Structure 1
Amino acid sequence: MKEIFFKKESLENAIRIFSDALKEKRVFKKLKEEEISVYESLGRITSRPIVAKISNPFFNASAVDGFAVKSSLTAFATINNPKLFEIGKDAIPVNTGDPINYPFDSVVMVEDVEVTEKFIKIFSPLHMYENVRVIGEDFAKGEIVVPIYEKITPAHIGVLISSYNDRIFVLEKPKVFIIPTGEEVKRLGQDLKIGDVIDSNSYMIASFLKEFGADPYISDEIFPNDFDILRKIIEESSKKFHLIVVVGGSAKGRKDLIGDVFESFSKVLFHGLTIQPGKPLIIGFNGDIPLIGCPGFPVSSYIDSKIFLKVAVEHLTSVSLDFPRKILATVKRDIPSSLGIEEFVRVKLAKIDNDIVCVPLKRGAANLTTVARGDGILRIDENSEGISSGSQVEVELLKSEFEIISQLLFIGSNDPLLEYILNMVKKENPQFKFGIINVGSLGGLLSLARGETIITSIHLFDSETQTYNTPYLKKYLQPDSYLRLHLVNRNQGLIVQKGNPKGIKTLEDLERGDVKFINRQKGSGTRVYFDYLLSERSIDKEKINGYDLEETTHLGVANAVKDGIVDCGMGIEYVAKLFDLDFIELGEEEYELIIRKDYLQDPRIVQLLAKISEVESKNLMRNFVGYKWVNKMKEE
């Protein structure tokens, strides 16, 4: 008897049709949230952003073996005129990881000094915090260390434990019910007669599901080819499970009823594929519960399960199950390296202008977040002095190629509100992938100009025109190549300890010898504005204790103040309030998003702009003290 199928589809069309139906029914919303131990979280999917409870490191730590010294006392040291330090008094022996306590603020490596019984000789000056891992170097307290809908990797577990998270919220695993059918199907260990078939398919399918991160449940009973019985068990199990898989009966022989059973719930998506083996696949829905009818022949079942169960679990969990591999990418900036050492550089990747671009992250053996947040690892040969801009390189992927190609890579100025909005977009649209590299306003602008990103954020004050951003945009970007969205105004000022014990009132107080300060990195909008204020008030930056001590985020500055490492630092009011610190307002800045015009219709940009337009209507700004909502397009 010739097989007849209702709706036969090509494999490509079938995958697309099934994927579109899963999206339309928003099956990812079916999974509930549960709290688990971080030690049991490998492979699980976060259900909310996870925030660091402490900084890493949470104290200033030596990055090398050597001697802790006061950097100011090493000034003018030379080979011909070395500085002498008494061991135990002016020079404290330290090993890598040892605390560096005030007034010591730098470490000289043991191989760079001459050691006698009581003294060391230093032959070159050290700057403040040289060879010291400062508080929050890897991540700061209050920082999102793992975003929402992220699959936990071994690197994530290291970051979560380092950030003092012992329990986290994750999505439950998709529950899948497997229903074997057919009077001839028997279980291993049962007596067999001629014509019987051993049920290997159910366990093979369950193994696929476990590999994909789901929880499979195989029915204790093997059900007969009876329409009413099969319909009832599907109806009942649909109330408890996220996905139903029926094994056998998917063709159109005399005893094959699954097509009719599925059709009794709703119109099937397709019945039959134009592939061999694997032709008799059928997929439908009971409400928003996917129903998959797998063929009884083992190879057919294997092929269909491998493809379509993967699609279903990906949509339920919002995480791609493609396995990592190597990929060719283009470097848009020089990446220097030292001869004689093979270096493993962690990188972020993005698809821009039909090219995969490669952007290096922080380098250093202690910064585990560069692995957890990184997309891949670039190996630089020991015989190379680095990689030149424009070079094509091979990158070993840490994530699936799909995630990398689809992600929106954001490189620019650090802002807690923007990171919150990006997580909101992902919460509503799990297929929205994003990555963040905090490099400051100028660094972000240069990344946009180089083609490393399609979106950045800046708040760069120009002292000559007394305006924000416009002169810098004209200097670094081509006219009419970008859109400006004035997102918010932020209050900038000095973050000081609770109660302001040092009585800091104005910038002039920073020149006092008893005040320790922490700055933002060169090129950041906060640093540019701070330098302008110093110049306007004729304040000598050389007199500021800590002017050269830099942090890359506002959270890092607040952490340093909160923990008493410094007395104050430059940052935004929101972060001061978040850490229960005091704030001395110095001005209001304009924070803008800069987006390439030719990417305005990109679905990721469309989703982000749509979410931004919702922020004010949902009254979310009440949680962000020190922000003034603007959300206005600006002319170039």
Structure 2
Amino acid sequence: MKDSKPARTVYLSNLSLKEAGEKWLSELAKQDLLAPLAGETVPVDDSLHRVTAEPVFALASSPHNHCAAMDGFAVRFTDTVNASEAEPLRLSLASQALPLDTGDPMPEGFDTVIMIEDVDPVSREEIEITSPATPWQHVRTVGEDIVATELVLPENQLIRPVDLAAMLAGGVTGVKVRPRPVVSIIPTGSELVQPGSELHRGDIIEFNSRLLAGMAAEWGARAVRHEIVPDDFEELKRTIADAAQNSHIAVINAGSSAGREDFTMHAIRELGEVLVHGVRIRPGKPVVLGVVDRTPVLGIPGYPVSAVLDMELFTRPLVYRLLGRSEPARRKVSARMPRKIASGLGAEEFVRVKVGKVGDNLVATPVERGAGALMSLVRADGLLRIPEDSEGVKADQTVTIELLKELDDVKNTIIVLGSHDISLDILASELRKSYPSLTLASAHVGSLGGLMALKRGEAHLAGTHLLDEKTGDYNISYIQRYLGDNVGLVNLVFRQQGLIIAAGNPKNIAGVEDLVRDDIIFINRQKGAGTRVLLDYKLKQSDIDAVDISGYEREEYTHMAVAAAVKDGAADAGLGILAAARALKLDFIAVATERYDLAIPDRHFDSDMIQALLSVIRTRGFQDRVMELGGYDTSQTGKLVGER
């Protein structure tokens, strides 16, 4: 029996982004696949955010008759020429001055309006005026706004609310617009399950199609999400062929690389033509660009960060061209990059960054760089492009950032770097609720990393819980050592730290002393984390050498990541907070109660943003939500530690 699976293939091409983009668009243009779509007529009432397919001309004038621009009296200006302050003039309400309201048509033979506040009603039959009127004063003449046959909107105009109103005012009730390009999104992979399904080991929730469809809709397309296609070559070909018949663009998500079950390139090649396979970008290299049945077809990676980038780079231009529009450019800003970023030669890298205004400067800080880090897309404020012939960015280098958010939102972002704590997530939520214009953005670099970030001017504040083994106190000695005295220290919480272990404690772990057992695998926090400092202190107290602990060198960056490793069986124990253990229904062995503080440099302490944040920290609402997590003490929350 013939094997229906194609042979494994390496990348057919490995073009630069510029080369791939030019080849993609030029080949599609040669096949006449980028021409704006022919128009369809829709009611003007339904045309908001559509694109005009031809010029729109007024069918009627607006106003279509002379009408009053003010409340008052319609008069003939020749009847008013002798009026003056010295000799007021009286006009008959029966024949010389007719009352009317704003918008009323002008009576036949009358050519001006006197505002009601400029007349004196002397009787039921007469009014008195003290100055002459000029011809057509306070009168909207025929066509004052729009003249019949006048151009209202050009071709390829994105219809705004004001455009909709102008068409209706000009007598236009139907408008020819570009059809929304149909973009088919095809999720692939036998491991995928729909959201809400019962999850089994190896299952992956299918969310990419919703993400990609949302992007297409934002650009003006109509996205059609297909059902999940398993790793079956023939079924994939049938689905692609159907999408090519019924859409303007088809996007296959996952299976675009060169692995054992990466069928996308082979399917496109059998059905049509592969133009590009592999682009020198990071993330997003394994992209496939081709044509099937005169339809552009793209194969993009399954990792969400790669998928989003390839969708932006190679699908977005097609949608805008089919709509007859130019792609809107993102705003670019200059920002300081306080820390060094290494990047490998040979691929243009797109680095997601947080951006905030710290002092007088915009400062950019990289977020997670993994292609599968979905939350890095949520947290990112901008993109930094590192050219393929560059090895990265030097510390304190000024770089150009493409903003993913409005600049005002970036400027209203409070950046906190340092140790991870779940209460920071609650604080971010409560801050946004009380101050909708403000955002708290946190990145987890460890307590010591947070203090160093303050020293480099990367953040407004840092979360820290560094234990001084000599004094038994927290944070103060480290701040004095690295930052000096110009820092305020505010307590956020006291919290329980301990060993997070599997539910039911199947390994019968009793304490830190058991970590040296041969059957125990540990998961650690990164160097510089306060939790790791605490662990080393406890090991020293128990006279335990770290080299005797299996897994001591394995590192995670958050308490929840440690808990997840234990939950999944990748580790038997890890040091973390009680709230993380409770969140994943794990057991917990208390080791210490520690103080978690916020270090705030004096230059930021009295700013409106920081004072707003402190006001939220001191609310009962925030503190009650923290206490509900378990393992916290908020009796000192919001209070200064020592003097400022």
Aligned equivalents of 1:254, 1:412: Cα separation in 2: 70
In the TM superposition, what is the alpha-carbon distance from 1:300 to its structure 2 partner? 12
Q: 2:454 aligns with which of 441, 448, 451?
A: 448
Give the conservation status (yes or no) of the 8 Å contact 1:489–1:628. yes
What aligned pairs does 1:139-158 form with structure 2 within 5 A after superposition?
none
Q: 2:370 aligns with which of 342, 355, 364?
A: 364
Cα distance, 1:442–1:191 mapped onto 2, change above 3 Å: closer
Match of 1:634 in 2: 641
In the TM superposition, what is the alpha-carbon distance from 1:196 to its structure 2 partner? 2.2
Secondary structure of the equivalent of 1:604?
helix
Counterpart code for 1:499 = G
In the TM superposition, what is the alpha-carbon distance from 1:484 to its structure 2 partner? 0.5
Match of 1:601 in 2: 606
Matched, 1:470 2:509: no
Match of 1:502 in 2: 507
Give the conservation status (yes or no) of the 8 Å contact 2:350–2:384. yes
Aligned equivalents of 1:192, 1:296: Cα separation in 2: 11
Aligned equivalents of 1:408, 1:425: Cα separation in 2: 10
What aligned pairs does 1:166-565 form with structure 2 within 5 A after superposition?
196=64, 324-479=330-485, 481-565=486-570
Match of 2:595 in 1: 590
Cα distance, 1:226–1:388 mapped onto 2, change above 3 Å: same
In the TM superposition, what is the alpha-carbon distance from 1:466 to its structure 2 partner? 2.1
Worse overlay, 339-348 or 536-545: 339-348
Aligned equivalents of 2:103, 2:113: Cα separation in 1: 16
Q: Deviations over 1:303-349 (max 9, x none)?
A: 9969xxxxxxxxxxxxxxx9841111111122222233322211111
RMSD: 3.7
Give the conservation status (yes or no) of the 8 Å contact 1:324–1:400. no
In the TM superposition, what is the alpha-carbon distance from 1:191 to its structure 2 partner? 8.3
Cα distance, 1:373–1:226 mapped onto 2, change above 3 Å: farther
Cα distance, 1:191–1:492 mapped onto 2, change above 3 Å: closer
Q: Deviations over 1:97-130 (max 9, x none)?
A: xxxxxxxxxxxxxxxxxxxxxxxxxxxxxxxxxx
Counterpart code for 1:374 = A
In the TM superposition, what is the alpha-carbon distance from 1:474 to its structure 2 partner? 1.0
Give the conservation status (yes or no) of the 8 Å contact 2:469–2:537. yes
Q: Deviations over 1:445-465 (max 9, x none)?
A: 110110001111100012122
In the TM superposition, what is the alpha-carbon distance from 1:624 to its structure 2 partner? 2.4
In the TM superposition, what is the alpha-carbon distance from 1:589 to its structure 2 partner? 0.6
Aligned equivalents of 2:146, 2:439: Cα separation in 1: 38
What percentage of aligned pairs have identical amino acids? 38
In the TM superposition, what is the alpha-carbon distance from 1:195 to its structure 2 partner? 5.6
Secondary structure of the equivalent of 1:464?
coil
Cα distance, 1:618–1:462 mapped onto 2, change above 3 Å: closer
Counterpart code for 2:367 = L
In the TM superposition, what is the alpha-carbon distance from 1:226 to its structure 2 partner? 6.5
> How many residues are aligned here?
351
Q: Deviations over 1:174-203 (max 9, x none)?
A: xxx99xxxxxxxxx9998589629xxxxxx
Counterpart code for 1:536 = Q
Aligned equivalents of 1:609, 1:256: Cα separation in 2: 56
Aligned equivalents of 1:468, 1:193: Cα separation in 2: 76
Worse overlay, 531-540 or 337-346: 337-346
Aligned equivalents of 2:114, 2:504: Cα separation in 1: 81
Cα distance, 1:345–1:297 mapped onto 2, change above 3 Å: same
Aligned equivalents of 1:489, 1:588: Cα separation in 2: 7
Give the conservation status (yes or no) of the 8 Å contact 2:489–2:597. yes
Aligned equivalents of 2:441, 2:589: Cα separation in 1: 32
| 4+ aligned runs moved over 4 Å, structure 1 | 188-195, 225-229, 253-257, 295-306
TM-score normalised by L of structure 1: 0.50
Cα distance, 1:296–1:549 mapped onto 2, change above 3 Å: farther
In the TM superposition, what is the alpha-carbon distance from 1:550 to its structure 2 partner? 1.2
Match of 1:624 in 2: 629
Q: Deviations over 1:383-422 (max 9, x none)?
A: 2222212211111111121111221111111111122022
Give the conservation status (yes or no) of the 8 Å contact 1:324–1:401. no
In the TM superposition, what is the alpha-carbon distance from 1:601 to its structure 2 partner? 2.6
Cα distance, 1:192–1:356 mapped onto 2, change above 3 Å: closer
Counterpart code for 2:518 = G
Cα distance, 1:421–1:340 mapped onto 2, change above 3 Å: same
Give the conservation status (yes or no) of the 8 Å contact 1:346–1:361. yes
Match of 1:200 in 2: none
TM-score normalised by L of structure 2: 0.50
Cα distance, 1:348–1:300 mapped onto 2, change above 3 Å: farther
The structure showing larger relative contact order (alpha-carbon pairs under 8 Å, at least 6 residues apart) is 1
Aligned equivalents of 1:360, 1:191: Cα separation in 2: 55
In the TM superposition, what is the alpha-carbon distance from 1:598 to its structure 2 partner? 2.0
Counterpart code for 1:633 = L
Higher alpha-carbon Rg: 2
Task: Structure 2 unaligned segments of length 5 or more: list them.
Answer: 1-8, 11-44, 47-55, 66-99, 105-111, 117-143, 154-158, 164-327
Task: Structure 1 unaligned segments of length 5 or more: list them.
Answer: 1-94, 97-176, 179-187, 198-224, 230-252, 258-294, 307-321
Give the conservation status (yes or no) of the 8 Å contact 2:57–2:152. no
Match of 1:171 in 2: none
In the TM superposition, what is the alpha-carbon distance from 1:622 to its structure 2 partner? 3.6
Give the conservation status (yes or no) of the 8 Å contact 1:324–1:399. no
Give the conservation status (yes or no) of the 8 Å contact 1:615–1:621. no
